[in-house]
Amino acid sequence: ATPTALMVGTGRGAQLGILIKGPEVLESTRRVDTVVLDKTGTVTTGRMTLLDVHLAADETETEVLRLAGALENASEHPIAQAVAKGATERVGDLPDPEDFANVEGLGVQGIVEGHAVLVGRTRLLTEWALDLPAELERAMADAEALGRTAVAVAWDGKARAVLVVADAIKPTSAEAIRRFRDLGLTPILLTGDNTTVAHTVAAQVGIDPEHVFAEVMPKDKVDVVTRLQEEGRIVAMVGDGVNDAAALAKADLGLAMGTGTDVAIEASDLTLVRGDLRAAADAIRLARKTLGTIK
Ligand code: ADP
Ligand code: MG
């Protein structure tokens, strides 16, 4: 295409709510045949709310929410914000943790009012040699079967509760995935969240079960992209989080949600200003049209 056509393509992109890093990006956009979608914050709103608190024997909701809420208040993760907000609503002001650390892809850990607190996946507890009692394991499984995310709370060497948060699928996601298919693209879901939740969300937006990659650690997301490329696919990756940045950079085309983190935006070639996944399909159609290869 002529430089003028590329410029027009770039300008039209801006009208559609797509920021294009440079005209050369249109060429890789045109060639894409596979779209890898992060789940939380990309296919879903990422704005979660605290729905349920399941307590182990002898625990109180007030103490669970105070300690878990205090720790999550220090994290930016969508799950953390839901827990902190729900806790504040139910128990009031939360203390400041004396110590806090993010455990990538697993949860958070720290010290609150002298207690060593963990909030996160069962695997985080396992790493500290803690078991989840059967009744909490059941509560977790039930929540996940409904497509919700459940995280465990432990302190001082004992599992205390399971917190259930839910995240709404964006109303535009299913339509966006239909548009990807109309363009002949294969949609793939890639998430750190658990397999049951991932499959429930995939089914709701029209992604095939064999195209779901769940429980993928942040550092391994990029490997999924690499493997797909080794199969000969030309891969677009859409994400919003710090944990997506490496995969966004590795993909043939990286698309960031404008509502996402700066790190994701910087790692990407295209930004979907409004966080609407349909704009990703529009971008690919636009690139094909601009470069004269519309099917
Ligand atoms: P995604 O790839 O869907 O954006 P992440 O890699 O950020 O998800 O997180 C994967 C999983 O790790 C979450 O589903 C949750 O179980 C756990 N997790 C991560 N951060 C936190 C946190 N701050 N609090 C509780 N659990 C967390
Ligand atoms: Mg995300």
Task: State the ipTM, two decimals.
Answer: 0.92
CA atoms of 126 and 129, how far apart (whole Å): 5
The CATH number corresponding to 47-167 among 3.40.50.10470, 2.60.40.10, 3.40.1110.10, 3.30.300.30 equals 3.40.1110.10
Nearest CA owner, ligand 1 atom 24: 107
SS3 111: strand
Q: Examine the pLDDT at 7 and tell me if it is beyond 60.
A: no
Query: Could you tell me if the CB of 121 is within 6 A of ligand 1?
Result: yes
Q: Which pLDDT tens digit goes with each residue over 200-259?
A: 999 999 999 999 999 999 899 999 999 999 999 999 999 999 899 999 999 999 999 999
User: For position 223, what pLDDT does the model report?
Assistant: 98
DSSP string, 149-179: EEEEEEETTEEEEEEEEEEEEPTTHHHHHHH
- Contacts of residue 104, Cβ cutoff 8 Å, sequence gap at least 6: 217, 218, 219, 243
Q: Determine whether 38 is an active site residue.
A: yes
Query: Could you tell me if the CB of 75 is within 6 A of ligand 1?
Result: yes
Per the CB < 8 A criterion, the answer to whether 185 and 34 are in contact is yes
Q: Which pLDDT tens digit goes with each residue over 68-86?
A: 999 999 998 889 999 999 9
Domain 3-45+169-290 has CATH 3.40.50.1000: yes
Per the CB < 8 A criterion, the answer to whether 279 and 271 are in contact is no
By C-alpha distance, which of 47, 7, 52 is closest to 26? 7
Query: Could you tell me if the CB of 120 is within 6 A of ligand 1?
Result: yes
> pTM score, two decimals?
0.81
User: For position 2, what pLDDT does the model report?
Assistant: 56
Q: Which pLDDT tens digit goes with each residue over 252-287?
A: 999 999 999 999 999 999 999 999 999 999 989 988
CA atoms of 256 and 239, how far apart (whole Å): 5
CA atoms of 140 and 137, how far apart (whole Å): 5
Token pair belonging to 128 = 């500290």
Nearest CA owner, ligand 1 atom 10: 192
User: For position 4, what pLDDT does the model report?
Assistant: 57
Count of H-run helices and E-run strands, the chain: 12, 13
Token pair belonging to 116 = 């060593």
From ligand 1's centre to the CA of 14, what distance in Å? 32
Parse the chain into domains and list their residue ranges. Answer: 3-45+169-290, 47-167
CA atoms of 102 and 18, how far apart (whole Å): 32
From ligand 2's centre to the CA of 244, what distance in Å? 7
